[in-house]
A and B are shown apart, each in its own frame.
Chain A
Amino acid sequence: MRRKGVNYSKYGYIFTLPFVLAFLIFSLYPILYTAVIGFTDMKGLIPKPIHILDNPFQNFKDLLFDNPSFRKSLINTALLWITNFIPQIVLALLLTAWFTNKRLNIKGQGAFKVLLYMPNIITASTIAVLFSSLFAYPMGPVNSLFQMLGWTDAPVFFLQDKTTARGIVSFIQFWMWYGNTMIVLVAGVMGINPALFESAAIDGANGFQTFFKVTLPSLRTILLYTLITSMIGGLTMFDIPQLFLAGGPDDSTLTTSMFIYGQAFKGSYMYNRAAAASMIMFVIAAVLAGLLFYLMRDRDAAKLRKAQKNINKSEKAAKAAAREV
């Protein structure tokens, strides 16, 4: 007997239910709760009943206009992200161009990929503590190395100087992530239709031309994906700066995540201020992600419109031709 009328669509709801429930309980409710706390005067160890401030946006105003530490954390986060992301993407693209160039045929690619990705797998907190030991003053491995090579006469106090401290944090982020970015990009290039490269080769394009005219445009979606994930990762940067120097020297490596953590959980219990800072971060992430998505969607849609126009044009031409006959 055939049971034609069985409707399976309810299983779509049933199978996605655990995800939805877990999301509602452990993500959505806490986000809304955080948003509400941002408008209250909740502080102190023992949670009090929720009391919305007379001026609900007071916490946000205080943070944005009267809190130099918060502003500094926003600037630091942006600075650390930009200074690690630009070299990271440049080097990753360069390695991608080398590894995917069939004419160069680089040997030992597998081994290189395994080694360059390695720093990404080790606990960030381990790496942070490791680097702060490596850059120790007056006698740390890096200081010894510099003196051995004759680069410096006196030991350098890397961790006491704002610029070097920021530079090292940024370098660690770069060092941990460029291998990951490279592998993602190499995979992206592998996914491009080989016919494109063949026709470029037949047309006599050299390595540079192929890379800039064929590879990069085809990689646009994956580049945007990398950009978005890296941006969210950069906004939430926590482990490395927290354990490397705990934000010092003089707040020069204090990130927004560390600011939030510090306000709420390091003994000051300023939950309202931390929640407001979280919400500002959330809004920044949403705006930036939206902007990137807009850029991506707009171009594709534009392409679609153009293609549709061409089709219309050729249809019209065909109709006209048909009429003429």
Chain B
Amino acid sequence: MEKAPRSEVVGRRISKTIIYIVCIFLAILSILPFWIMFVNATRSTPEIQSGLSLLPSTHLMTNLHVLLDKSFDPIQGFLNSFIISTSATVFTVYFSSLTAYGLVAYNWKMRQPFFTFIMCVMMVPYQASAIGFYQFMYKLHWTNSYWPLILPAIAAPAVVFFMRQYLLATLSLEIVEAARVDGSGEFSTFNRIILPLMMPAVATQAIFAFVGNWNNLFMPLILLTQKDKYTMPIMVSLLRGDIYKTEFGSIYLGLALTALPLFVVYFLLSRYIIAGVALGGVKE
């Protein structure tokens, strides 16, 4: 390969330096707010009010005591969020895979119209149905129950869409044929052969479904009024309340506690998450 002219090499070096500076600045911008949150969680309120620091202090336990004194129960919130998010995630990925398989593997009359319908449903903002949904659940006496937060997860159009694209690219119908010859029923073929084959897509969508359900605020805020049923995001919203107005250290600690599990999961799974976003983006 020919060597590039000198001026071009210099020019490229300058632009590369600029690019690295911008990227490092953005990376710091991403970390800094969380760093301040973790640091302030260990500082006392007077320390926080006296100015910014990037080094931790020694008031973690005091802040924890103040936080827990004021009926903030992160373990309960964590458990509640965990129950809802896990169940909803299982429902979402299982039934979306099943629906997508039904769309790809079988040639039925309504197949194309049904797919178009899923595309349209993807566009509906969930607030469009919130009032009716609440009234409906109220009549069923399902407010303050987790069912309305879990069962609707069965119908997740965006996930079905993703799974369908994945199946179209990977599934060979010969496997299904072979299973039929061996006497496997359609349903057990799906459970025992297709679902394991779909694991990469299932894992990706499971992460997103979990994070999405964990972060959901609107629906739990509407449906749950009993304190012991509150999810993590509702508990976070309580931190803004009057009882914490002057306890800055405790507010930061509460925030840190709600964010910590997600940080751990994120850094363990970040590679898959990034790959998953990428997969989800390439939809055509």
Taking beta carbons and an 8 Å cutoff, which residues of A are in contact with B? 8-16, 18-23, 26-27, 29-37, 47, 95, 98, 103-104, 106, 108, 110-119, 121-127, 129-134, 136, 139, 141, 144-145, 148, 175, 179-180, 183-188, 190-191, 221-222, 225-226, 228, 232, 235-236, 238-239, 242-243, 256-257, 260-261, 264-265, 271, 274-275, 278-279, 281-282, 285-286, 289
A185 to B128, CA, bound (A): 29
The B8-48 residues at the A interface (CB cut-off 8 A) are 12, 15-16, 19-20, 23, 26-27, 29-31, 33-34, 36-37, 40, 48
Q: Per a CB cutoff under 8 Å, which of B123, B138, B232, B278 touches A232?
A: B123
Give the interface segment out of B55-63, B66-74, B195-203, B212-220.
Answer: B212-220
Bound CA span A26–B279, Å: 28
Residue in contact with B240 in the complex, picked from A129, A139, A221, A282, CB distance below 8 Å: A129
B132 touches A275 (CB 8 A): yes
Q: 11 A-B Cβ contacts within 8 A?
A: A20-B155, A26-B154, A29-B132, A33-B132, A104-B15, A104-B19, A121-B266, A139-B50, A141-B52, A225-B281, A264-B131
| B188 CB-CB contact with A under 8 Å | no
User: Nearest residue in A to B28 (C-beta to C-beta)?
Assistant: A115
Does the CB pair B154–A289 fall under 8 Å?
Answer: no
Contacts of B215 in A (CB 8 A): 123-125, 239
- B259-A30 in contact (CB<8A): no
Among A14, A180, A228, A235, which residue has the most Cβ atoms of chain B within 10 A?
A14
Picked from B27, B152, B251, the residue with its CB within 8 Å of the CB of A116 is: B27
Residues in chain A near residue B221, CB distance under 8 A = 261, 265
Contact A123 B111 (CB under 8 A): no
Complex alpha-carbon distance, A184 and B277, angstroms: 6
B282 within 8 A of A: yes
Additional 12 contacts, C-beta under 8 A, given A117-B270, A242-B217: A111-B27, A112-B23, A117-B274, A123-B233, A123-B258, A125-B233, A133-B248, A144-B52, A184-B281, A226-B281, A238-B217, A278-B131
Interface centre among A16, A26, A27, A235 (most CB of B within 10 A): A16
The 8 A-B residue pairs with the shortest CB-CB distance, nearest first, are A15-B102, A33-B132, A184-B281, A12-B108, A187-B278, A12-B106, A34-B132, A22-B154
Q: Which residues of chain B come closer than 8 Å to A19, judged between CB atoms? A: 95-96, 98-99, 154-155, 160
Of chain A, the residue at the smallest CB distance from B129 is A30
A29 close to B136 (CB less than 8 A): yes
Question: Is the CB–CB distance between A26 and B152 below 8 Å?
Answer: yes
B170 at the interface (CB under 8 A from A): no
- B57 vs chain A, min Cβ distance (A): 14
CA distance in complex: A67, B34 (Å):
39
Contact (A228, B123) CB under 8 Å given A30-B136, A118-B266, A123-B233: yes
Using a Cβ–Cβ cut-off of 8 Å, how many residues does chain B contribute to the interface with A? 96
Interfacial chain A residues near B162, Cβ < 8 Å = none
Pair A130/B190 contact, Cβ less than 8 Å = no
Give Cα distance in the complex from A18 to B273, angstroms: 28
Contact residues, B112-133 vs A (CB, 8 A) = 114, 121, 123-133
B283 touches A (CB below 8 Å) = yes
Check A129 against B128 for contact (C-beta < 8 Å): no
- Complex contacts, B217 vs chain A, CB 8 Å: 123-125, 238-239, 242-243
Report the separation of the CA atoms of residues A131 and B49 in the bound assembly, to the nearest whole angstrom: 15
Q: Compute how far the CA of A281 lies from the CA of B130 in the bound complex, rounded to whole angstroms.
A: 12
Name the CB-closest residue of B to A10. Answer: B108
Out of A23, A242, A264, which one reaches B134, CB within 8 Å?
Answer: A264
Q: Are A122 and B277 in contact (CB under 8 A)?
A: no
| Residue from B29, B127, B132 within 8 A of A257 (CB atoms) | B127
Q: Which residues of B contact A282 (CB under 8 A)?
A: 124-125, 128
B130: A residues at CB distance < 8 A: 30, 34, 260, 264, 278
**A32 near B132: Cβ-Cβ < 8 Å:** yes
The residue from A11, A37, A106, A225 contacting B23, defined by CB atoms under 8 A apart: A106
* Chain A residues positioned under 8 Å from B49 (CB to CB): 139
Q: Does B79 contact A (CB under 8 A)?
A: no
Contact B128 A31 (CB under 8 A): yes
Q: Does B110 contact A (CB under 8 A)?
A: yes
Residues of chain A within 8 A (CB-CB) of B151 are 22, 26
Asked if A15 contacts B262 (CB within 8 A), the reply is no
Q: In the complex the two chains form, is B121's CB within 8 Å of A23's CB?
A: yes
In the bound assembly, the distance between CA atoms of A117 and B277 in angstroms comes to 10
